[in-house]
Amino acid sequence: MSQQPQQKKTKTDHESANSNAINLADDILENIFSFLPIKEAVRNGILSRRFRKSWIWNRCLDFDKEFASGLTREEFINIVDQILKLHAAPKVNTFRLFINPIKEFSMVREWINFATMKEVEELDLDFSAGNTNYMLLPHHLLKNGSVRVLKLSLCAFILYPSLNGLRSLTTVVLRQVDLSEKSIEIVLNNCLFIELLELTKCRRLCHLNISAQNLRRFRILKVVDCSNLLYVDIDAPTHSIILGIYEY
């Protein structure tokens, strides 16, 4: 008789311990899912009822070529839009988008606004999917200053001389971007922590003047197939910069 309460207490403690362990495991796994690429997070949510909606906390939103493979344009747009509408994480580490924006300009701008409002750190926008027209990006794209890695393909945007939002950038990759030498100057004047600048098929560039006296971390300038570029002048008296010029 005297042992029964003890057995009952032991069982209760055991159940409580199991419950805490399950809750702890859920918290840990939810955190893991938040850093998985979105495709993997969605797949794991589908395979396990327990984590069916874990993907809404995902911080790596990779809607890239791999994500789009096997999907029709309509399916891709609907899936991306639904994921972003249900997204619950306070911020996003990575946002990659590969799409032809034709006829979907307003929606694509909403997606970009979503990423910037979530303080995205790596922003990769590629609009070259069967498209030859530049996508005009919103002027407030880099206003909040959270972006550290910026990769743009087939874009156009307007840069103003003073842009505090560029100060956090360490990597800038511009492919088929419609910008002038003045725009490059504005980028470098505001990106004090830039380490790498890559320019690919930027046809408007003719004379590239790089003033890097105040850019202590700037180490790599890569120029690829900028067919109208006549010369590159680099002013970096206090440190060396690796320059690579490639033509295809």
Give the pLDDT score at 29. Answer: 47
- Strand 94-98 vs strand 242-246: parallel, antiparallel, or unpaired? unpaired
Q: Which of 82, 90, 81, 80 is nearest to 59 (CA)?
A: 90
Q: In whole angstroms, what is the distance from residue 94 CA to residue 46 CA?
A: 22
Per-residue model confidence as pLDDT tens digits over 92-121: 999 999 999 998 999 999 999 999 999 999
Q: In whole angstroms, what is the distance from residue 37 CA to residue 32 CA?
A: 10
130: left (phi over 0), alpha (psi -120 to 50) or beta: left
The domain spans of the chain are 54-246
Q: Supply angle C-alpha 171, 111, 35, rounded to 5.
A: 60
**Which residues neighbour 189 within 8 Å (Cβ) at sequence distance 6 or greater?**
161, 211
Provide the whole-model pTM.
0.80
Q: Which CATH number fits domain 54-246: 1.20.140, 3.80.10, 3.40.190, 3.60.15?
A: 3.80.10
Per-residue model confidence as pLDDT tens digits over 198-217: 999 999 999 998 888 889 89
Torsion of CA 164, 231, 134, 198, to 10 degrees: -60
What mean pLDDT comes out for the span 7-24?
42
